[in-house]
Structure 1
């Protein structure tokens, strides 16, 4: 139950972070958003260090660094994807890809699942697809947006898999190493492009910072959840984060939630219930 609740918390935080990051990237270069979000994420993780502790052994550093590379790619691809929109369609596409890879790795690594848990995973994956069935007011995503969504999902999946592989006694060390690496990559890329190519438009600092802080808390919740439960279950619950993104897009941006999407949210609730019982 601890893993389930933490995975749900991670899901909500990821969904809210995605909404804020995608919103901040509208009209501004995505790297400008990540330049704010990534360092704020690192600051949050450094604040967690004295509370949770950290052990910087070889495994924690190696897997943390690998997660950082994937995180930098995920940040840029995801915020660009959601900036193009529509959020209510592209976010679930990204989530489906980000769930499928960790589930496959978890099962291949020997996760033992009950029949209820298997049914819950299947329903959760179905829910992600169904939630993406809304037409977002008749707006269809472009081919570029769909390609970016698949790339973002793959990057998120790799980040989660790397965090799961880090030693369980390493505390927040993998997160700190990963965020340090991702911040350096982002700042290096921004410096290489130069101010002219990044454009003059700057994102709202508070929105971008909020995205970074929530993403850090989501990563932390996932890391602890994965240490208490099976990767295949934790990852698929975490992948329900589009529910938060879709609801925020509806409330704050006026994007329409169709009956199909509402049905998908209901299926997601059933899936979580089955996983809790399993």
Structure 2
């Protein structure tokens, strides 16, 4: 049950971070947004170090760095995807890929699910698609230039999850610190090389920093959930993060929640209930 609650918290934090990051990427070059989000995320991890401890073993360094490279790709590709749209089509693609790959890894590593889990997992995957698909998702056709970043973002998010799960369970927040230092360095280096090609638009600093901080908290809750439960279950619950984006868009921007999304939220609730029984 603890793993399930942490995964739900991670999902909500990811959804809020995506909402803020997507808005920021529409107002300035995506790299300008990530330049602020990634270091802000690292700052949160450093603040957590004295509280949760960190052991920088070889395993923590290797898997933390691997998750960092995946995170850097996820930051850029996801915010680019959110900025291009149409998100009512691209968001289900990203979320579904980010769920299916870790589920497959968990099952291949020998995780076993009971009957409730076998019923809950596919329901949760259906909920991921329904919740993240808006009005007209069936008729809108994204361009290849929009679909490829969506697929890449999903794969990058999945890779980050798998790498964090593989880190030693006694390493504290060390994998998260390394995993945030890497994308921060990559982002700042890339920004320095691109220079004026980033444009003159100024990013919304508070929004971008909040997105990074929330992403960091989401990673922490996912890591703790994965250490206390099965990767297959934790990953698919975490992949319900579009629900947080949808609910925040409803609350802040007064965007409508469509019938299919309401069905998705209900399906998610049933799926979570079943997975809680595993």
| Superposition TM-score tier, normalisation by shorter sequence | over 0.9
Q: Structure 1, residues 23-47: CA drift from partner, whole Å, max 9, x if none?
A: 0110310000000000000000000
Provide the residue aligned with 1:77 in structure 2.
77
Tell me, in whole angstroms, the C-alpha distance in 2 between the residues paired with 1:39 and 1:277. 39
In structure 1, what is the equivalent of residue 62 of structure 2? 62
User: What CA distance in whole angstroms lies between the structure 2 residues aligned with 1:72 and 1:39?
Assistant: 11
| Residue number in structure 1 paired with 2:184 | 183
In the alignment, which residue of structure 2 is the partner of 1:118? 118
CA distance in 2, matches of 1:181, 1:98: 21
Q: Which runs of 5+ in 2 are unaligned?
A: none
Q: Which residue in 2 is equivalent to 1:166?
A: 167
* Post-superposition offset of 1:67: 0.3
Contact kept? 2:132, 2:243, Cα under 8 Å:
no
In the aligned structure 1, how far is the partner of 2:25 from the partner of 2:130? Answer: 26
Partner Cα distance (1:214, 1:88) in 2? 23
Contact 1:97 1:150 in 2 (8 A): yes
Helix, strand or coil at the partner of 2:26: coil
Residue-by-residue CA offset, 1:199-253 (whole Å, 9 max, x unaligned): 0001110000000000000000000000000000000000000001112223333
More divergent stretch after superposition (12-21 vs 255-264): 255-264
Question: Normalization by structure 2: what TM-score?
Answer: 0.96
Q: Calculate the aligned-residue CA RMSD, in Å.
A: 1.5
After the TM superposition, which of the residue ranges 68-77 and 136-145 deviates more from structure 2?
Answer: 136-145
1:17-28 alignment runs, 5 A limit:
17-28=17-28
- Work out the CA distance in 2 between the residues paired with 1:96 and 1:137: 15
Offset at residue 182 of structure 1 (A): 0.8
* Offset, 1:258: 1.5
**SS of 1:6 mapped into structure 2:** helix
Asked whether the equivalents of residues 88 and 242 of structure 1 are also in contact (C-alpha less than 8 Å), the reply is no
Q: 1:128 Cα deviation (Å)?
A: 1.2
- Partner residue, 1:91: 91
CA distance in 2, matches of 1:77, 1:89: 15
Q: Residue 230 of structure 2 aligns with which residue? A: 230
Q: Which residue is equivalent to 2:40?
A: 40
- Say if 1:137 and 1:170 are closer, same or farther in 2 by CA, change over 3 A: closer
> 1:139–1:44: structure 2 CA closer, same or farther, 3 Å change rule?
farther
